Each structure stands twice: as structure tokens, then as C-alpha cells.
Amino acid sequence: MSGILDGKVAIITGAGSGIGRAASRVFARERARLVLADWVEAGGNETLRLVQDLGADAVFIKTDVSRWEDVKAVVTKAVATFGRVDCAFNNAGIEGESAVTHECSLENWNKVIAVDLTGVWLCMKAEIEQMLKQGHGGAIVNTSSGAGLAGVRGMPAYVAAKHGVAGLTKAAAVEYGRHKIRINAVCPGPIRTPMMARLLGERPDAEQRFARGGPLKRLGEAEEIAEAAAWLCSDRASYVTGVPMPVDGGFMAQ
């Protein structure tokens, strides 16, 4: 049985946990061939095992997306292993330390921007370069955030980076549409992931109180973001480009 990504070669960054791991499993189910990248080697290798158990043809490469040499190595690995790059989900990211704007440290600012914004740009730079060489187009999905569409207290670097990802997505979509390269972003709302667990902290009622603020009255699941990313990477989204798509249970509609 074929899937919506049948035979496509897909890069997924941040594949070792959370949304990246869920996306790896969904892309595997949809029959993509996978190049998985993550900074945490143990998590990346565990995801590799999971998708191989699902029958996926996949490889893992340890990657710091803030380093050009690492990002280039991911694309090189994809081409050496599978011959091309058809689509990519640039998902790697960190939340950084919690602090209001005037108390945000320069170290935290630089680290979050390096991973969450510069890392996405570097991935796009390498992926687009390869897609242009191939001459057959492609699809790229970046992970922005609800915090890339609205302000959030206590996370100035994260909010700035995710707004930057949304803008970068639009700019690149305009630049490369004529080359049949579609570029979109997903903007997750509150999703049940390790990152969200860290943000909510040790407060048993925090998740319920947070969930009550949205129309669907629940947190989202990582798989729900993964499904959106898989669709945007597929030919079923062939007329969709330049969209920072909220996948947030209606939070941004309020």
C-alpha cells in the first residue's frame, strides 16, 4: 500500500524526540525514505530503530543545525545514500531559558537564535541548493510556532526566532516558487512534548489550566503536527506555499 510520501527522500531534523520523532514515524508510515538528524545521538538512534521497525529505509546523522558543516553533511548523506532530496522538515529547536526581555541573557539569546532561526536558514540553504541542482522541485516545511504569530511572555529569544522562521518561510517561498520548490511552516500551539513538560514544570494542574484556554480544550499531540508536516511535504499540497500554518486547536482564532 502506497503512502502520500511514497519513495520520497525526506530529511527530518530534531528527529530524536517530540514532534521530530512523531514526524519520523508518520513519514515512515507514508513510505518516505528518511535521513534523520539530531544533536542527541541516543535519541536519534532510538528514532532510527523505531522507523526501521516500521519498515522504513532510514539513516541517522548526529547534527548541530547551527553549524554549516553539520547541515551540509546531512544533505551530503542524503544524496550519497538515496541519490537526492525531495522534501525536508526543518524541526530542530530549543526553548531556551525563561526570562522577560530585559533579563534575557546575551548567551541565551545567541543560543536560541542560532538553533531556532539560523539553524532553519542553514538547513534551507543546503536543501534548496540541492533541489536546484536536481531541477525537479521539492517541498520544505519549517517549524515555527504559535509564538511565531503572537507574543508570549518570558521567551523573547524564542518568540523572535519563531517570528523569523515564519518570515523566512514566506520570503523563500516567493523566491523559489518558479523552481517548483514549495516552502511552508507549521506553527504548533501547545503540544504535549518534552519541551512543553519543561515549560509547565512540576505543576499537576498546569496542563489542564493551559488547555482550557483553547477552543478544543486540550493540548495537541506531536502526531497531529507530524500529520500536517507530512501533508505539506506531499504532492497533495501542490498548490500550497508560503504559509505559516497554525496547528493549534484554534488558539490563534480567538
Q: Which residues are catalytic, by number?
A: 144, 158, 162
Q: How far apart are CA 137 and CA 131, in angstroms?
A: 6
Tell me which residue has cell 523552481. 179
3-state SS assignment for residue 198: helix
Do residues 34 and 51 touch, judged by C-beta distance below 8 A?
yes
Provide the b/e sequence for 86-99 (b: ≥16 CB within 10 Å): bbbbbbbbbbbbee
What count of other Cβ atoms lies within 10 Å of the Cβ of residue 114?
A: 18
Which residues have C-beta within 8 Å of that of residue 103, sequence separation ≥ 6? none
Strands 181-188 and 244-247: parallel
Q: How far apart are CA 189 and CA 63, in angstroms?
A: 26
Tell me which residue has cell 519543561. 198
Q: What are the φ/ψ torsions at residue 247 (nearest 5 degrees)? A: -130, 85
What's the grid cell of residue 14? 530534531
Do residues 58 and 25 touch, judged by C-beta distance below 8 A?
no
3-state SS assignment for residue 28: helix
Strands 181-188 and 191-192: unpaired
